[in-house]
């Protein structure tokens, strides 16, 4: 398991590079590698922009008969008041385009959010090798 | 600490290459860099080369769209060049389509799309500035579907 | 400049289009020039089947100079069975008024000066010029189309042999034939593969042929649209072929917007367009 601090935008590049190289060793397809790196880029940026910084843990997972990889993004920012709304297409509190969360969900096999207002946000994504 | 993206002149055409390891800030600087160069040179066309981009997320995608739109407002023809298939698939799944921007598979085709042709190619296959000439009245400007 | 085709006179029956505006001679001259220089071959004969006019495209197509054909029987431009029978066809029509070829398009053969028999599409109309009956024929060369169709038929046979669903049919042109019932996963896989192949092969055009898809529904449509969007982003072109009348109805009925692709009825036509796109370098 690899843990990468996410403080600034340089760390966004680091996070997606780390995710991509793990995806590489797990033999994901070219398209899947790109999906993973892109989702990680989105969520790492959310940690910087909305969460005020945090970290991501990148690891491979073995579950039942499947192999894949998981990334968990954690920050101690403001949390998300209405998770369902944050997941909606085009919703943004930052005046940006608001496709990050719903887009990342489509790119991955699983995306789940735990967010407590005032305490922080934890976003977990998983991609299985088909 | 963020490096600015160089805007190159290829003959009268401007060319920016989006590299993979760019930070958000250097991508953000794209707007200004491109617009300043357009103002200085009155370039008729801008090629945005994403051949080397392995990731185009919503942030980079938006900057690309905006830069293209601004350049178009300044009467500069914009062609997005060399998007990799996996990047295109991912962009689409993210819900970004970069509409209203013309596209080309290679720099050569991109130049053709804005009315220039590479007339000579050096042995090392690197077209240099002198090798770009305008092609007249060939109707190659209409590259869209 | 010596057009043999009589300029329309102001008779009751004559072509009413140029009417009585202004100096009619100029207009007649204009129309005569347009006909003379138009891309389709045009030939006019009288009731005796004598050629009264042929335009430049017709000269080029059949390989004759104008003076070699004017006044001669039109059957010199025809292939075997029609060559002998053509006079009878016309005579029968003049006697009975039964239209066989008039007012329709049909595929037949032409004969060039050097004897070459070649496929053509022929449309014949009857018109009255200064109270004389004239038959005008528009002739289109089908040689290229037939060749492409044969090519496609041959490639189609190859396609069925191959296990890989993406075929490189020509320089820069890939074909993805969708066959059978397309489920979501399969559609996504084959399209991902097709797009990736495009980049690998540096192909500028992907033809998606749906001749073999029994049920074209919104799911298939959406996959095709997504794929076309990706291809556009990459700077390539996509063409949808194999659209049967039933499929066309479905597409309209479902309100599917396919405007981002070029569409053609048959794979052969799609191939023609693709080759054109590649050759003329208008591929994004
Ligand atoms: N880590 C986070 N901490 C707090 N809020 C977040 C976080 N991630 C996302 N959000 C909220 O969810 C909204 C939608 O996020 P996203 O879909 O990425 O769009 P955008 O980043 O463009 O606003 C954000 O505007 C923000 O309000
Ligand atoms: Mg975001």
Q: Is residue B139 situated within a structural domain?
A: no
Number of H helices, E strands in chain B: 4, 7
d(CA C28, CA C7): 6
Please report the pLDDT score of residue C260 as a whole number.
84
Instruction: Enumerate the CATH 3.30.750.24 domain ranges in chain C, comma separated.
Output: 153-280
pLDDT value, residue C11: 45
- The span from the CA of A92 to the CA of A36, in Å, is 22
Average pLDDT over residues A75-89: 94
C99 CA distance to ligand 2 centroid (A)?
70
Compare CB distances from B58 to A9, A33, A99 and report the shortest one's residue.
A99
- Domain containing residue B93: CATH number: 3.30.750.24
Number of domains in chain B: 1
Chain A residues within 8 A of B59 when measuring between CB atoms: 41, 45, 96
Token digits for B136? Answer: 């007249």
Structure-block tokens of residue C237: 């072109």
Say what the pTM is: 0.68
ipTM: 0.92
Is B114 in a helix, a strand, or coil? Answer: coil
Radius of gyration of chain A (CA): 14
pLDDT digits (tens, 9 = 90+) for B55-71: 999 999 999 999 999 99
Helices (H), C66-217: 66-69, 80-96, 143-161, 184-201
Task: Name the burial class of residue A86, with classes exposed (0-12), middle (13-18) and buried (19+) by CB atoms within 10 angstroms of its CB.
Answer: buried
Residue C76 phi/psi, 5-degree rounding, is -65, -15
- pLDDT per residue, tens digit, chain C (284 aa), is 444 444 444 444 444 444 455 555 677 788 888 888 888 899 999 999 999 999 999 999 999 999 999 999 999 999 888 888 899 889 988 998 887 778 778 888 999 999 999 999 999 999 888 889 999 999 999 888 888 777 777 776 565 444 447 888 888 899 998 877 777 776 777 788 889 899 989 899 999 999 888 888 888 888 899 999 999 999 999 999 999 888 888 888 888 888 889 999 999 999 999 988 888 755 43
How does pLDDT run across B13-25, given as a tens digit for each residue? 999 998 877 777 8
| CB contact at 8 A, C106 and C121 | yes
Question: In this predicted structure, what is the pLDDT of residue A49?
Answer: 95
- Residues of C with a Cβ under 8 Å from any A Cβ are 192, 196
Q: CA nearest C138: which of C55, C50, C14, C68? A: C55
Q: Please tell me the predicted confidence (pLDDT) of residue A60.
A: 92
Question: What's the distance, CA A88 to chain centroid?
Answer: 16
Q: What's the whole-number mean pLDDT along residues B64-81?
A: 94
Confidence bin at B98 (pLDDT 50/70/90): confident
With contacts defined as CB-CB under 8 Å, which chain B residues touch A9?
A: 2, 23-25
Q: Cα(C162)–Cα(C152) distance, rounded to whole angstroms?
A: 15
Where does residue A130 rank: exposed (0-12), middle (13-18), buried (19+ CB within 10 A)?
exposed
- What is residue A104's predicted lDDT score, i.e. its pLDDT? 97
DSSP-assigned states of every residue in B58-73:
HHHHHHHHHHHHHHHH
- Whether B3 shows a pLDDT value over 80: the answer reads no
What is chain A written as a DSSP string?
A: -EEEEE-SHHHHHHHHHHHHHHHHHTT--HHHHHHHHHHHHHHHHHHHHTTSSEEEEEEEEEETTEEEEEEEEEE-S---S-HHHHTSTT--SSSS---HHHHHHHHSSEEEEEEETTTEEEEEEEEE--
- Closest residue to B58, CB basis, from A20, A33, A100: A100
CB-count burial class (<10 Å; 0-12, 13-18, 19+) for C182: buried
Chain B CB contacts of A106 under 8 Å are: 93-95
Can you tell me the distance from the alpha carbon of A105 to that of B90, in angstroms, rounded to the nearest whole number? 12
Per DSSP, the residues of C166-181 read -EEEETTEEEEEEES-
Would you give the DSSP letter of residue C77? Answer: G
**Are C231 and B104 inside 8 Å of each other by CB?**
no
Q: Is residue B118 part of a domain?
A: yes
Whether the pLDDT of residue A74 is over 70: the answer is: yes
- Tell me whether residue B141 is in a domain: no
Q: DSSP E strands: which ranges in B38-122? A: 45-49, 77-81, 102-104, 116-118
Query: Topology of domain C153-280, per CATH?
Result: Transcription Regulator spoIIAA (3.30.750)
What integer pLDDT is reported at residue B145 of this predicted model? Answer: 38
| Strand, coil or helix: B42 | coil
- Chain A residue closest to C195 (CA)? A31
User: Which residues, 6+ apart, have CB-to-CB distance to B71 below 8 Å?
Assistant: B34, B35, B38, B46, B78
What 8-state DSSP symbol labels residue C13?
A: S
Q: Which ligand is nearest to the CA of A92?
A: 1
Residue at B1 is within a domain = no
**Distance from C-alpha of C141 to C-alpha of C136, rounded to nearest angstrom:** 16
Q: Spell out which residues line ligand 1, taking CB within 6 angstroms.
A: A 42, 46-47, 50-51, 75, 77-78, 80, 86, 91-94, 96-98, 100-101, 121
Range of the domain at B18: 7-134
pLDDT digits (tens, 9 = 90+) for B112-142: 999 887 665 555 555 444 455 554 333 333 4
Q: At residue A35, what are phi and psi to the nearest 5 degrees?
A: -60, -45
What tokens were used for A51?
Answer: 């969460």
Domain assignment of residue B140, yes or no: no
CATH architecture label of C25-143: 2-Layer Sandwich (3.30)
């Amino acid at each position: 398991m690899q843990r990468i601090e996410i403080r600034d935008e340089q760390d966004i590049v680091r996070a997606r590079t780390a995710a991509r190289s793990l995806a590489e060793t797990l033999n994901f397809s070219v398209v899947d590698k790109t999906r993973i790196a892109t989702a990680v880029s989105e969520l790492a940026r959310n940690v910087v922009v909305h969460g005020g910084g945090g970290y991501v843990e990148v690891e491979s997972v073995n579950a039942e008969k499947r192999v894949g990889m998981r990334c968990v993004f954690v920050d101690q920012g403001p949390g998300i008041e209405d998770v369902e709304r944050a997941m909606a297409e085009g919703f943004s509190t930052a005046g940006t385009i608001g496709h990050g969360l719903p887009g990342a969900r489509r790119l991955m096999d699983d995306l789940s959010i735990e967010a407590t207002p005032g305490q922080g946000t934890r976003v977990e994504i998983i991609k299985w090798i088909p | 600490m963020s490096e600015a993206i160089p805007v190159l002149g290829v003959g009268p055409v401007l060319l920016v290459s989006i590299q993979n390891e760019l930070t958000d800030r250097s991508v953000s600087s794209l707007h200004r860099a491109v617009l300043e160069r357009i103002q200085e040179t009155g370039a008729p066309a801008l090629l945005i080369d994403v051949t080397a981009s392995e990731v185009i997320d919503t942030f980079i995608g938006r900057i690309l769209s905006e830069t293209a739109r601004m350049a178009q407002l300044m009467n500069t023809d914009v062609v997005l060049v060399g998007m990799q298939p996996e990047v295109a698939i991912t962009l689409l799944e993210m819900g970004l389509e970069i509409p209203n921007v013309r596209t080309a598979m290679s720099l050569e085709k991109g130049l053709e799309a804005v009315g220039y042709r590479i007339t000579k190619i050096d042995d090392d296959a690197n077209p240099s500035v002198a090798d770009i000439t305008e092609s007249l009245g060939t109707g190659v400007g209409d590259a869209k579907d | 400049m010596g057009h043999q085709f009589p300029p329309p006179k102001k008779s009751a029956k004559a072509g009413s289009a140029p009417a009585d505006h202004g100096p009619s001679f100029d207009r007649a001259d204009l129309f005569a020039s347009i006909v003379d220089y138009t891309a389709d071959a045009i030939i006019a004969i009288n009731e005796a089947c004598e050629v009264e006019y042929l335009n430049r495209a017709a000269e080029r197509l059949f390989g004759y100079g104008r003076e070699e054909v004017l006044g001669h029987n039109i059957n010199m431009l025809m292939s075997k069975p029609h060559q002998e029978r053509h006079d009878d066809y016309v005579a029968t029509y003049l006697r009975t008024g039964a239209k066989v070829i008039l007012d329709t398009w049909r595929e037949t053969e032409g004969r060039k000066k050097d004897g070459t028999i070649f496929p053509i599409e022929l449309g014949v109309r009857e018109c009255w010029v200064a109270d004389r009956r004239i038959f005008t024929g528009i002739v289109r060369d089908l040689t290229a189309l037939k060749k492409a169709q044969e090519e496609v038929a041959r490639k189609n046979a190859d396609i069925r042999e191959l296990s890989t669903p993406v075929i490189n049919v020509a320089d820069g042109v890939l074909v993805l034939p969708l066959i059978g019932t397309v489920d979501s996963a399969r559609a996504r896989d084959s399209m991902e593969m097709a797009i990736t192949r495009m980049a690998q092969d540096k192909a500028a055009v992907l033809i998606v042929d749906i001749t073999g898809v029994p049920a074209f529904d919104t799911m298939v449509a959406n996959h095709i649209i997504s794929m076309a969007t990706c291809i556009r982003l990459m700077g390539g072109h996509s063409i949808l072929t194999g659209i049967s009348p039933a499929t066309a109805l479905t597409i309209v009925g479902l309100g599917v917007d396919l405007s981002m692709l070029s569409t053609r009825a048959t794979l052969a036509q799609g191939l023609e367009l693709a080759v054109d796109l590649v050759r003329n370098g208008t591929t994004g």
